[in-house]
Structure 1
Amino acid sequence: MTKKNQHLTTSWGAPVGDNQHSMTAGSRGPTLIQDVHLLEKLAHFNRERVPERVVHAKGAGAHGYFEVTKDVTSYTKAAFLSDVGKRTPLFVRFSTVAGENGSADSVRDPRGFAVKFYTEEGNYDLVGNNTPVFFIRDAIKFPDFIHTQKRHPATHLKNPNAVWDFWSLSPESLHQVTILMSDRGIPATYRHMHGFSSHTFKWVNEDGDGVWVKYHFKTEQGIKNLTEEMGQRLAGENPDSHTEDLYNAIENGDYPAWRLYVQIMPLEDADTYRFDPFDVTKVWSQKDYPLQEVGRMVLDRNPENYFAEVEQATFSPGTLVPGIDVSPDKMLQGRLFAYHDAHRYRVGANHQALPINRPKADVHTYQRDGQMRFDNNGGGSVYYEPNSLNGPKESPQHKPAAYPVSGVADSVAYDQDDHYTQAGDLYRLLTKDERTRLISNIVGAMKPVESDEIKRRQIQHFYKADPEYGIRVAEGLGLSVPSKRK
């Protein structure tokens, strides 16, 4: 049993002053690499499972192409988006998040939605989910969050006490929790769900002008979901139902497709918008920033070997091409390090050279050696830079666009802490029947929680989003109804 009043420390025993906020340059960052506690947490977290993925372990994938349908060259100079009608080959991996490699496909869980574009300027990875938001907004909390989704260290059972304890102490999770517990929490198949970047990214055009963007993949198959009862039954009858459905659809020539749209925000709006546009627990209203069509993604070829293609596929939001850059989103900033580091550990330092990950574009680097180096390792060519031997050199025109930063280096929170408005708006958008199923799913998930204190703490969050929301959950759990918003 954990002793009371113990100080949280680093792995080398030093006390931790802030375990909730990463160190940034000013309130918006970017995140500072000198935050050694953040780096230690993320690096250790990436090495906690051998050899399956720490998250997104269970998944399915397919090959296809992306075709540009609208001219977006005024916003981005990315070459694969340069001409209407242009096609770029791609590989997609869909997945569940929390479960192990052998877990069921039909569990209540977000779905990973990762796309690798093999562009002429190198690979571009768009690594998102089937939800537009996430549970947390700072990468320093990610290892702790995923620990709550994994198994109890003593019982080796899933632990609802940990899940709801963490969520109740992290009110920023409320928006995503509402989505997860709604009908959208269990997609019927991978084909019948949308995909989102969730994070904000930056597009830059040939003139160096930038805009903030969010990506939306809209399924052409239509949205279909499973009820809790259907999901549980399918988990027992066919735990690989999503994997089987995707494979069979493509095998039968019923190629799944999605339309890609973006929301576009002028750079200056980030300072005045009513929600922080870099907070991944929030969405941008489509009334404020309407969806603009970009292109169409089609999946038309199954993998020939699951391990070689699906299991060894590696994705990272830091795999970028000219014309597409990152934002100060603190969760995204941490992922830029963590994803590449996870692949170096899980697959190897040369994972980018594997056939499924190898760019179609020529690669010229000074990286050498490492485990599983299976090409000619650069032969006898020059292996350092700068050099006077006509080796590859940087191209200044491809530098990311500069942006100003200011502030004091410190561990700071986001400026805005409204965790309830968007969750409440979502609740009120649901139909009467959808609300009833949402409440039923939440009550069923919270009943196993042993602590009434945790339940009441979470109920307060529901109540602050919408009084009816909190009252119905409280009544379902047989607890006192909150008398007022605290």
Structure 2
Amino acid sequence: MSELTKADLYNEVGKRTPIFMRFSAAFLGKESPDQGPSPRGFAIKHYTKDGNYDIVGLNWPIFFCRDPMQGPDVFQSQQRNPEKSLDYNATFDFLANVPESNHAAMMLFSNHGHPKGWRKMNGYGCHTFKWVNKESQFVYVKYHFICDQGSEQLTWEEAKKKYGEDPDFSNRDLWEAIEKGEPVSWTAKVQVMKPEQADAAKLGFDPFDVTKIWPRMKFPMQDFGRLVLEKNLEKNPKDYHPYVEQSAFSPSSMVSGIEESTDMLLQARMFLYRDAQYHRLGVNFHQIQVNCPFMSSGSASMGFGGSGNTHYASNSSVNKFRPDTAEVPYEVSDNIVSRQSHYFTEGTHKEYDQARELYDRVMSDEARAALHDNTAALLKLVEYPNIQIRYLAQCYCINHKYAQAIYDLLPERAFDFGRVGEVAEDAPSFGKERKFMPFGKNHRLVGNPATIPTYQK
């Protein structure tokens, strides 16, 4: 991939870069079974000669919000209520009032919400990143890790059965496969978009919106490597706490040749993850062995010294300031600073185009039936009819048959389905402040390359 990026780990055919991987049920607590409905965390730490590079993704390519201010709400709405434990009122209230969240919600309530173990699911970087080559030319990319064992999911009935039989199934399955030397691998693929292609008006969506995908027909996936967990190469952690519990991943851990895009949620995560890790593990968390850059001779555990490292490395012999790693410039807007959204789909029915494509074309009849059943099984636990109506209104905007199927499966209905259709007329603007919604020519795509002015006498 040297034509696209100067990142060392992607620039030599056959090169092996050591990694540490952590899988997680992103929203569920430790007390929850592995099979509970939740996005799955898919995090990769690369130990490169230039330092650590982290990809912090999920088992599907989209997220529930694009506004960083709503990031904490995504997690808190799906976590346990401190007063009465699990609270589906909060979960569906968020989904009902954030229209762009329902693309990811379809994945959550489909069988992808309970994959058949960690080694039977795909992984995705979700955000848009930049790859920069030695000539300071850049492209935008999205990461995909396609499971070589095949992507498989449990049905809701199978997941519930696994709850009782083996609540730690996913961990056990991965551990035993690695110990037995069975294949555990993913084919690493990347979608590439040139800067001049990143025009929302032409694409019909904002390529920096993490609630949207890039169509594979227009931006085909290209292989760039394999992600492999093999007994003779890697190993299971021998002590769960210092390796798994204390591992720390952050989107801000990047290396030369890889940069962030103008995705606002990515920009926020680059700050927020570090702050959380300082709080959770302490300011020296990078000295914990699993977080320590592989090529450094830093300490192996928290609290020890620098193992002979000097405090300052002479730049006369090695240029540590690395002027060649300056970020590639890009235009951000027309000199407008505000909280107003620039997203192409904000407050319009275009918000549902990709979710409708997923429901109408990508999903099979069997997958749609499972989505209806899984959603109704949880929506029936919501105590307030108004939340149910507003959530079904979001589904109605995707496809009225989608909402009708869920409605028909609810055991108790305190409202007529006609009410859902009425409310759906305003569903794209739910949770939106008019003063923050896009208007005028200044609210256009960000991220096109900056023009370098030339001056003449």
Structure 1: gaps (5+ residues): 1-71, 365-370
Q: Aligned partners of 2:399 and 2:285: how far apart in 1?
A: 47
Separation in 2, partners of 1:305, 1:373: 18
Q: Separation in 1 of the partners of 2:364 and 2:216?
A: 20
CA shift for structure 1 position 481: 2.3
Which one of the candidate residues 80, 86, 106 is aligned to 2:9?
80
Describe the shift of the 1:382–1:319 C-alpha distance in structure 2 as closer, same or farther (beyond 3 A).
closer
- Equivalent residue, structure 2, for 1:253: 181
Partners of 1:380 and 1:163 lie apart in 2 by: 51
Find 1:426's aligned residue among 352, 358, 371: 358
Secondary structure, in 3 states, of the residue corresponding to 1:325? strand
Indicate the residue corresponding to 2:323 in structure 1.
Answer: 396
Could you tell me how far 1:466 is from its partner in structure 2?
0.9
1:26-425 paired onto structure 2 within 5 Å: 72-155=1-84, 157-271=85-199, 272-300=202-230, 301-362=235-296, 372-376=302-306, 381=311, 393-406=320-333, 407-416=335-344, 417=346, 418-425=350-357
Query: In the TM superposition, what whole-angstrom CA distance separates every residue of 1:218-270 from its partner, at most 9, and x where no partner exists?
Result: 00000111111211221222111101111000000003000000000001111
Out of 446, 451, 475, which is 2:408 matched to?
Answer: 475
Change (3 A) 1:243 1:463: same
* SS state at 2:20 partner: strand
Structure 1, residues 407-465: CA drift from partner, whole Å, max 9, x if none? 32211224222321111111112222221111111111100111111111111111111
Q: Per the alignment, in what secondary structure is the counterpart of residue 261 of structure 1?
A: strand
Contact 2:140-2:193 within 8 A present in 1 as well: yes
Amino acid at match of 2:352: Y
C-alpha contact (below 8 Å) 1:105/1:241 kept by paired residues = yes
Aligned residues: 406
Letter in structure 1 aligned against 2:58? N
Structure 1 counterpart of 2:207, one-letter code: P
Closer, same or farther: CA 382–80 of 1 in aligned 2, 3 Å: closer
Q: Which amino acid aligns with 2:216?
A: Q
Distance 1:264 1:206, change over 3 A: same
Quote the Cα distance in structure 2 between the aligned partners of 1:480 and 1:426: 27
Residues 322 and 89 (structure 1), Cα distance of their counterparts in 2 relative to 1, 3 Å cut: same
Give the C-alpha shift of residue 354 in structure 1: 1.4
Contact 1:112 1:129 survives alignment (8 Å): yes
Deviation for aligned residue 1:74: 0.9
SS at match of 2:77: helix
State the distance in 1 between where 2:297 and 2:214 align: 37
Deviations 1:275-313 (A, max 9, x none): 100100000100010000000010122111111211111
Which TM-score applies when normalising by structure 1? 0.80
Q: Which amino acid aligns with 1:421?
A: D
SS of the aligned residue for 1:166 comes to: helix
Structure 2: distance between partners of 1:462 and 1:381: 58
Matched residue of 2:290: which SS? coil
**Following TM superposition, by how much is the alpha carbon of 1:480 offset from its aligned partner in structure 2, in angstroms?**
2.2
Deviation per CA, 1:9-38: give whole Å up to 9, x if none. Answer: xxxxxxxxxxxxxxxxxxxxxxxxxxxxxx
Which one has a larger percent helix, Structure 1 or Structure 2? 2
Return closer, same or farther for 1:90/1:376 CA change in 2, 3 Å cut-off: closer
**What's the secondary structure of 2:38's corresponding residue?**
coil
Q: 1:289 to 1:381 in 2, by over 3 A?
A: closer
For 1:124, what is the secondary structure of its paired residue? strand
CA distance in 2, matches of 1:212, 1:431: 31
Query: In structure 1, what residue type is equivalent to 2:220?
Result: P
Displacement of 1:154 after TM fit?
A: 2.0
Q: 1:215 is paired with a residue of what secondary structure?
A: strand
Equivalent residues of 1:474, 1:480 under 8 A apart: no
Query: How much has 1:382 moved relative to structure 2?
Result: 5.1
Is contact 2:288-2:302 (8 Å) kept? no
Verify the 8 A CA contact 2:209 2:343 in the aligned structure 1.
no
Indicate conservation of the 8 Å contact 2:48/2:295, yes or no. Answer: yes
CA distance in 2, matches of 1:200, 1:233: 38
Query: Given that residues 116 and 154 in structure 2 are in contact (C-alpha distance below 8 angstroms), is that contact kept between their aligned partners in structure 1?
Result: yes
* Alpha-carbon separation, structure 2, partners of 1:419 and 1:240: 37
SS of 2:119's equivalent in the other structure is coil
Pairwise CA RMSD: 2.2
How much has 1:80 moved relative to structure 2?
0.9
Q: Equivalent residue of 1:411, what SS?
A: coil
- 1:444 match: 377
Distance (Å, rounded) in 1 between the aligned partners of 2:191 and 2:320: 35
1: CA distance, partners of 2:302 / 2:168: 31
Secondary structure of the 1:410 match is coil
Return the offset for 1:404: 2.5
- TM-score of the pair, normalised by structure 2: 0.84
